[in-house]
Amino acid sequence: METEALKEKVYEVLQTIYDPEIPVNIYELGLIYQVDILPMNNVQVLMTLTAPSCPAAQSLPVEVDEKIKQIEGVNDVHVSVTWNPPWDKSMMSEAAQLELGFL
């Protein structure tokens, strides 16, 4: 699979993962900072959470890892969580802000 096609699939999968406390997917929430397709179809994801005390801090990165590994052609997945820059509401897509009543 070509790098761009695989990256597209990864973004599709990320849009099926939801923060358990917010009815918006993690991609629209702005929690995904970077997706890289490395040689041999290894996928690297840099993400954050809404807060360090987020109850999903343990489960969300694991869910991201597991769901991406299910994509045909993916070799391995590495998910890193960062707090820099810290997440804030402005990182959400317009659709997410509308959904949550911020617009």
| Closest to 17 in 3D by CA, of 87, 66, 77, 78 | 66
Read off the pLDDT of residues 16-27 as tens digits, 9 standing for 90 and up. 999 888 889 999
Residue 62 lies in a domain: yes
CA–CA separation, 62 and 48 (whole Å): 13
Axis-axis angle for helices 59-69, 3-14 (nearest 10): 140
Residue 102 lies in a domain: no
Read off the pLDDT of residues 45-80 as tens digits, 9 standing for 90 and up. 999 998 888 888 889 999 999 999 999 999 999 999
- At 89, is the secondary structure helix, strand, or coil? helix
Residue 59 lies in a domain: yes
Residue 92 lies in a domain: no
Overall average pLDDT of the 89-96 stretch: 94
CA angle 25, 23, 96 (to 5 degrees): 60
Residue 48 lies in a domain: yes
Domain of residue 42, residue span: 3-83
Q: How confident is the model at residue 9 (pLDDT cuts 50, 70, 90)?
A: very high
End-to-end CA distance of the chain: 39
The pLDDT of residue 16 is: 97
Residue 70 lies in a domain: yes
- Give the total number of structural domains in the chain: 1
Residue 58 lies in a domain: yes
Residue 54 lies in a domain: yes
Domain of 63: which CATH number?
3.30.300.130
